[in-house]
Amino acid sequence: MSPRSTRLTCAVAGIAPIVGLFLVAPGASAAPSGDGASYDPYTGHVEVVRGEAADPEVLTGTVFHDRDEDSTQDRREKGIAGVTVSNGRDVATTDGQGRYSIPAFDNMTVFVTQPAGYQVPVDEHQIAQFSYNHLPEGSPELKYGGIPATGELPEAVNFPLAKSKATGKAQQSCPIASDTQAYNMTEMGYARDGAVADLMARDDYASCGILMLGDNVGDDLSLNPALKDIYADANGPVRATPGNHDMDYDAADDTHALDTFRHQFGPGYFSYDVGQAHVVVLDNVIYNGAKEGGKNGGYKEAIDDQQLEWLENDLAEVPANKLVVVAAHAPIVDHRMVVTDNAAELYDVLEGRNAVTIGGHTHMLENLLPGDTREEWAAGGVEELEHTQLVAGAVSGNWYSGGLDEQGLPYAFMTDGARPGVLTLELDGNEFSERYTIRGESDDLQLALGVNTPHWREWAAKQLEWRDGGKEGDAPALGDEGVVSAEDLAGESWLTANFYAGSTDARVEVSIDGGAEVEAEHSQPMQGEALATGWEYSDTFAATRNLLTSGGVTQSNAHLWRLPLPADLDEGTHTAEVSATDNRGREFTETLRFTVTDERTAAKATVLRGDVPGKVPANIGVTSGS
């Protein structure tokens, strides 16, 4: 791919630091499109046959080919054999006529696992319809309603499916939109016009659909209809994972914490097949129960025993040669720690499987590989990573924080320096690859470059203290971030490359002023070491911008590479060309220009030089973060 320039061109500033950034609108498409085939949704619903069940402790029904797509099994519509149906604990397989029977109990959600070659119906918002809630008396009193009373067990629950060649194809594109997490309608608008708009413009995922990976809203479940609205033009079915911000906080305990979610979106955990992959969605957030006044009582990240039992039963019906994709709101691990408490138990269930785990929750982007080891993981019971762990970034980025760009969208650099966007899992048979698309950009934007000097680190510490301490007095002065003094070079100064797609199998090489390429060092090599943390491990490009506005600032990173700047660099402007190759062999190139001076120019204000690669220099704008 052709190199792009990040030219550090000076913008004028006054005495006060810049508190907002301003860029031109993106010029590239969000992601490559598919074959241009239009999405023809199968609109319908699960068929509930009212009447007295033959046995009040057993639910029966049929999975059938809904040839006329009216959601009702007609006499000429045959059942489909070999399809699995679950109550969230047990798993039943349909017989030769498509019939199933499964134990029934109160407060269960029964769902069908979509087989490859078929598709489940969707509603008017493209939300997949494949489940039935059984809660005879309905939810206890909950602010957002929960599940209405369903009455006694019905005579039957039938699951309609339509034939689909598309879901049977070996090649699938599966976007994963994590942490849309709008707390109000303003932020919902940011999501709609940002990463969600990119998804609505794509046509490559019609058969796999979109998986919303939890924290779909921010605590206020009355925003769920607006969330559905912004995804309603999806070019494929939409399925949802619950997150810790999607719960009924006034529930007494975890038993009813997802009742509103289950009523409006579907099961808290389930599975479906596309191509040669079996996708498992887990709920790994366990609610502690409401505090006095219905306030949020907190949670822990873990998979409860009933889910683990279900997962074993579910996988028992899955051929060994299939890829198993395990998606949950919280990652199983991230580069800092074991996140899901009983990760080792999950890995035991997945032992011997060709599997990948995917999480969100942390508002970071990570690609952790089998064989990676970390000191903190070992302390949490994971000696060595057994499966690839992807952390999917966030639609909201760093919670819609930071200054606003020319489109009126917050920059929202995440705490690892990555930007708002969507992860796409590309399936090819039982193999997979992954790509992350930054909001409003093409796939080839995967690098952010900067210079980390003693002066910058001193400023960053003071700026964070000033920013978060009430902003009393004058802000610390950074000066020109593209200038490196001789004093900086005599200390420890690095050129930094934040390679968003980077993993331990990636390689980053740097050529300064056309010289020989030198391999940069991965700051967190995942070889059993402890967490590398401190200002010296920051992505200065993103950190500077968040420090001047709002948002989290990382001091650790799974995908940061550093190259010490030579202490004997001549005065003047230098060009660094950085080439990064990911674990799939894809290469990305960016260039950075910086200036070496004998002395650092005194500055009474912060001057930002350059901005997002390919964009014009930042103008001064005064905006407030979210």
**Both tokens assigned to 115:** 């087989």
Please tell me the number of Cα atoms within 13 Å of 151 on its side-chain side: 8
- Give the length of the chain: 626
Q: What is the pLDDT of residue 7?
A: 30
List pLDDT tens digits, range 96-115.
999 999 999 999 999 999 99
Which helix (H) or strand (E) segment is 511 a member of? strand 507-512
Cβ-proximal residues to 583 (8 Å cutoff; 6+ apart), any chain: 367, 369, 503, 505, 506
List pLDDT tens digits, range 129-159.
999 999 999 999 999 999 999 999 999 999 9
Please tell me the number of Cα atoms within 13 Å of 181 on its side-chain side: 27
d(CA 73, CA 60): 14
Predicted TM-score (pTM) of this structure: 0.91
Is the confidence at residue 193, as pLDDT, over 50?
yes
Is the confidence at residue 600, as pLDDT, over 80?
no
Is the confidence at residue 625, as pLDDT, over 60?
no
The chain-wide mean pLDDT, for the chain, equals 90
**Both tokens assigned to 420:** 């708002």
Nearest to 217 by CA among 283, 256, 261: 261
**433-436 CB contacts, 8 Å cutoff, 24+ apart:** 433/584, 434/367, 434/390, 434/501, 435/31, 435/501, 436/365, 436/393, 436/500, 436/501
Report the pLDDT averaged over residues 332-360.
97
Lowest mean pLDDT among 160-169, 544-553, 613-622: 613-622
Cβ-proximal residues to 215 (8 Å cutoff; 6+ apart), any chain: 178, 179, 180, 181, 243, 244, 245, 246, 329, 360, 361
Q: Residue 284 corresponds to which amino acid?
A: N
Q: What is the pLDDT of residue 21?
A: 29
Query: 314 by DSSP, 3-state: which?
Result: helix
Is the confidence at residue 88, as pLDDT, over 70?
yes
Domains of the chain by start residue, with CATH: 4-28+446-597 (2.60.40.10), 51-134 (2.60.40.10), 172-438 (3.60.21.10)
d(CA 507, CA 585): 10
Cβ-proximal residues to 360 (8 Å cutoff; 6+ apart), any chain: 176, 178, 179, 213, 214, 215, 243, 329, 330, 331, 391, 392, 393, 394
CB 345 within 8 A of CB 312: no
d(CA 485, CA 471): 28
d(CA 72, CA 76): 11
Q: What is the pLDDT of residue 23?
A: 28
Q: What is the pLDDT of residue 395?
A: 98
Query: 495 by DSSP, 3-state: which?
Result: strand
Q: Report residue 293: phi and psi, to 5°.
A: 85, 10
Is the confidence at residue 18, as pLDDT, over 70?
no
d(CA 626, CA 485): 35
Q: How many CB atoms lie within 10 A of CB 601?
A: 11
Residues β-bridged to residue 448:
498
Q: What is the pLDDT of residue 471?
A: 94
Cβ-proximal residues to 178 (8 Å cutoff; 6+ apart), any chain: 212, 213, 214, 215, 329, 359, 360, 361, 392, 393, 394, 395, 423
Q: Residue 220 corresponds to which amino acid?
A: D
Cβ-proximal residues to 267 (8 Å cutoff; 6+ apart), any chain: 88, 109, 111, 131
Cβ-proximal residues to 135 (8 Å cutoff; 6+ apart), any chain: 106, 107, 147, 149, 150, 259
Is the confidence at residue 605, as pLDDT, over 80?
no
Please tell me the number of Cα atoms within 13 Å of 491 on its side-chain side: 14
CB 108 within 8 A of CB 310: no
d(CA 531, CA 241): 30
CB 49 within 8 A of CB 156: yes
d(CA 177, CA 212): 5
Report the pLDDT averaged over residues 222-244.
98
Q: What is the pLDDT of residue 623?
A: 26
Is the confidence at residue 6, as pLDDT, over 50?
no
Is the confidence at residue 419, as pLDDT, over 90?
yes
H helix intervals, 492-567: 540-548
Q: What is the pLDDT of residue 609?
A: 52
Is the confidence at residue 529, as pLDDT, over 80?
yes
107 phi-psi bin (left φ>0, alpha ψ -120 to 50, beta other): left
Check residue 147 and report its DSSP letter: -
Please tell me the number of Cα atoms within 13 Å of 521 on its side-chain side: 9
Q: What is the pLDDT of residue 247?
A: 98
Cβ-proximal residues to 305 (8 Å cutoff; 6+ apart), any chain: none
Alpha-carbon Rg of the chain, whole angstroms? Answer: 26
Report the pLDDT averaged over residues 433-444.
94
List pLDDT tens digits, range 310-325.
999 999 999 999 999 9
Q: What is the pLDDT of residue 607?
A: 53
Lowest mean pLDDT among 107-111, 194-198, 372-376, 481-485: 481-485
Q: What is the pLDDT of residue 481?
A: 87
Q: What is the pLDDT of residue 606?
A: 56
CB 142 within 8 A of CB 250: yes
CB 611 within 8 A of CB 619: no
Q: What is the pLDDT of residue 611?
A: 47
